[in-house]
Structure 1
Amino acid sequence: MDFKLSEEQELIKSNVREFALKYIEPVAAEIDADSKQPVEIFEKLGELGMMGISYPAQYGGGGAEFLTTMLVTEELARSCATTAFLHSYSYGLVGHPILTFANEEQKQRWMPGLASGKLVGAFALTEPGAGTDVSSATTVAVKKGNEYILNGSKTFITNAILADVFVAFAYTDRSAGAKGMSAFLIPKGTPGLLLGQHFEKMGVRGSQTSEVVFKDCVVPADCLLGQEGQGFKIAMSALDVGRIGIAAMSTGIAQGCLDESVKYSKERVQFKKPIASQQAIQWFIANMAVDIDAARFLYMYAAWLKDQGRPYSVAASKAKLFCSECAARHSTKAVQIQGGYGFVKGSKAERFYRDVKLTEIGEGTSEAQRMIIAGSVLR
């Protein structure tokens, strides 16, 4: 058993940390305050090869292991949850389903742009009445000749206003239940593809989240992703990968909280000595350090399983559940350590406190993860 990262992975971690300190830290608060998509940051990440580092070289990627992408996500999250979330989202919910289920023509059309960061994708699954219960979706796709006509609406769709391509899901056969759901790669500008309400969020505010409406949306048959009836399978596969991404992001947020807590507790003087000398603060920090190590091992193990071609669905759920709740737990402690200074707008601890809630909801709630884990144990 080897817990050691490769020299290349260690170098990438170090380089991304330097990148984050130089380019992300100075603008992270602005990204949050202005709900600003960090487009310039992703252009730079694309130039460095960090957007497609785990994609195959034949599609413009770096050919690295999936774990390497997750290491990048964690390092980005130490500085900005928005940047980390969008980085992992691009691979897990957009790139992965295309790599895994698309035909060669579709891969050639979309993968090089995703790998370079020049194209943006959106994952259109959630509906107003279908969140955790994905199979209760009502969007339908009726085939007419060489086209599908889609009707329905999606909600809470990340990147909708910016997306060049939508990985979208609709029923092609309602009578078949979940096996009647299909997936499509729908380019922006497709007739009948409309944007609805835009949402202002409490956290991860730089990511753009909107409704998507299909109103007699005409989609060519060659935009079908995989086979008819594979949609539910494709969605679950994407969510499994996305959950590892959320776990890595959560670990990065927790590490960022520890970074801030250590720094502040050494600088803040009360009763004529730094508060880091107080046992109560030391225990907060010790608990953070232990939980973060455990979280990191969980997400890295899930990523390793994927890289080895072994089943990783349950491991992904375990990682997401633990890492997200770890980050939530310790973001609270980070604010507590800073007291009033951690409670005011503009503090990094306050921003993380708001950002972290997404990790317990996105890509499947903590409750959904417990359902998956319990089902695997009780089977």
Structure 2
Amino acid sequence: MTATLPQASELDALITDTVARNAGQVDSAGEFPEENIAALGRAGFLGLTSAADVGGGQGMRAAAEVIERLAAECGSTAMVLLMHYAGTAVIEAHGPADVRRAIAAGNHLTTLAFSEFGSRSHFWAPLGTATADGDRVRLDARKSWVTSAAHADSYVWSSLPLSGAEGMSLWLVPSGLPGLEVSGGFDGLGLRGNGSRPMTADGVTVSPDVLLGADGAGLDVALTVALPWFLVLNAAFCLGLAESAVAEASRHLTATTLQHTGAALRDAPVARRDLAVLRIRTDSLRAFLGDTLTALETGREDATLRVLEVKALAGETAADVTDGAMRLCGGSAFRKELGLERRFRDSRAARVMAPTTDALHDFVGRVTTGLPLLDEANR
């Protein structure tokens, strides 16, 4: 199959005509960005990272650019697509051909369903169970946060293995199955339209064929396939927020004049200095993200370390840069129409989204000192 890949100009038009237009409403009402996601599907962006044999053909670098551009305008839309790309990576590695083709065609939205109430942000420690039920498999779980809950067509779902009480297995769970329920709403500080809601599986039965990889091998799949996509694209998400905040602060300092003196805000050396700090922090993140992608693309020895570092760096950078931009823009930043306070709120998610910044710092410390990423007790 010949891949028909979306062009940068299509993304420009989609962002201008649809994503940016809907961003305020998505945030204020906490609405899932249905129109935005449908437009991304029609334009080929849901299938961007699918394999070439089913109609995709782009890699993580192209996906990072798309996520960055979307995050600058609508964090909720960017997060939905980010989780879709992470789920798609697992499905491309282990999923069925019909779902792979549907994703490539832009007709299928997927997501990860890892975090659980009992283990919280420790996504590597599922408590949900998978048990044999005749020729079917029964899934029972209480997932704490699932992006695109009730909107995704499938969920890359984690559980304890069929074969024992330790480890992880992954399943491709279709939406709409009896016993699969969205059990709560989401009224969050930021990313208000990303549809991140609790879900429960109460006696959900699936075919054994929907197992993604071998039974009990899910943790390795999560760490080696899903996690790099998730962490790197989170960094791109944070970069988009930081870039948009710096751009807004620069416009404000340039366009705003003190009428009693005739001076623009940019004429004050302290304001220029503070803006320069934000510019340097953002450019540093861009350089680190680019180096991380190069490390992955070339199989560099430090690729795993870079992947673990990049989201930790990005989450703190986005939080600090959006905070600094808010201070530079003063009272104007508190107006909803500027969009800066929305980016400030959206930027807070990266710190607490599993693996959290604290967890990543521990992982980096473990790798740096030669320890395994996870204690055996946590595997």
TM-score of the alignment, normalized to the shorter chain, above 0.5? yes
Aligned to 1:30: 25
Aligned to 2:374: none
Q: Contact 2:122 / 2:355 at 8 angstroms: preserved in 1?
A: no
CA, structure 1 residues 134+346, in 2 after alignment: closer, same or farther (shift >3 Å)? same
Aligned to 2:291: 301
- State whether structure 2 residue 186 is matched by structure 1 residue 199: yes
Q: Aligned to 1:74, which of 64, 68, 71?
A: 68
CA, structure 1 residues 325+317, in 2 after alignment: closer, same or farther (shift >3 Å)? same
In structure 1, stretches of 5+ residues that fail to align are 1-8
User: In the alignment, residue 52 of structure 2 is paired with which amino acid?
Assistant: A
After superposition, the C-alpha distances for 1:93-141 in whole angstroms (9 at most, x for unaligned) are: x101111233xxx1x1212222333212131111112123234432111
Please state how far the C-alpha of 1:288 moved relative to its aligned partner: 1.6
Aligned to 1:267: 255
In structure 2, stretches of 5+ residues that fail to align are 371-379
Aligned to 1:98: 91
Distance in 2 between residues matched to 1:267 and 1:292, nearest whole Å: 22
Give the 3-state SS of the residue equivalent to 1:199 in structure 2: coil
Alignment of 1:204-215 (within 5 A): 204-215=191-202
Q: Contact 1:321 / 1:370 at 8 angstroms: preserved in 2?
A: yes
Q: TM-score, normalised by structure 2?
A: 0.90
Distance in 2 between residues matched to 1:205 and 1:130, nearest whole Å: 24
CA, structure 1 residues 232+288, in 2 after alignment: closer, same or farther (shift >3 Å)? same
Distance in 2 between residues matched to 1:138 and 1:54, nearest whole Å: 30
Distance in 2 between residues matched to 1:299 and 1:85, nearest whole Å: 17
Q: Contact 2:190 / 2:342 at 8 angstroms: preserved in 1?
A: yes
Give the 3-state SS of the residue equivalent to 1:218 in structure 2: strand
CA, structure 1 residues 85+135, in 2 after alignment: closer, same or farther (shift >3 Å)? closer
CA, structure 1 residues 310+114, in 2 after alignment: closer, same or farther (shift >3 Å)? farther
Please state how far the C-alpha of 1:253 moved relative to its aligned partner: 0.4
Q: Aligned to 2:272, which of 265, 279, 282?
A: 282
After superposition, the C-alpha distances for 1:28-54 in whole angstroms (9 at most, x for unaligned) are: 111111112222222222222222223
Q: Aligned to 2:246, which of 249, 258, 274?
A: 258
State percent identity of aligned pairs.
23
Give the 3-state SS of the residue equivalent to 1:31 in structure 2: helix
**Structure 1 residues 149-158 or 128-137, which shifts more?**
128-137
Distance in 2 between residues matched to 1:174 and 1:202, nearest whole Å: 40
User: In the alignment, residue 200 of structure 1 is paired with which amino acid?
Assistant: D
Distance in 1 between residues matched to 2:247 and 2:262, nearest whole Å: 23
Distance in 2 between residues matched to 1:41 and 1:199, nearest whole Å: 19
- State whether structure 2 residue 149 is matched by structure 1 residue 160: yes
CA, structure 1 residues 368+182, in 2 after alignment: closer, same or farther (shift >3 Å)? same
Distance in 2 between residues matched to 1:302 and 1:27, nearest whole Å: 32
Distance in 1 between residues matched to 2:106 and 2:119, nearest whole Å: 30
Please state how far the C-alpha of 1:173 moved relative to its aligned partner: 5.0
Aligned to 1:143: 132
Aligned to 1:5: none
Please state how far the C-alpha of 1:285 moved relative to its aligned partner: 1.5
Aligned length: 362
- State whether structure 2 residue 56 is matched by structure 1 residue 65: no
Distance in 1 between residues matched to 2:153 and 2:198, nearest whole Å: 16
User: In the alignment, residue 227 of structure 1 is paired with which amino acid?
Assistant: A
- State whether structure 2 residue 320 is matched by structure 1 residue 329: yes
Q: Contact 1:130 / 1:137 at 8 angstroms: preserved in 2?
A: yes
Aligned to 2:115: 126
Distance in 2 between residues matched to 1:272 and 1:174, nearest whole Å: 74
User: In the alignment, residue 89 of structure 1 is paired with which amino acid?
Assistant: M
CA, structure 1 residues 176+213, in 2 after alignment: closer, same or farther (shift >3 Å)? closer
**Structure 1 residues 144-153 or 253-262, which shifts more?**
144-153
Q: TM-score, normalised by structure 1?
A: 0.90
Give the 3-state SS of the residue equivalent to 2:166 in structure 1: helix
Please state how far the C-alpha of 1:79 moved relative to its aligned partner: 1.3
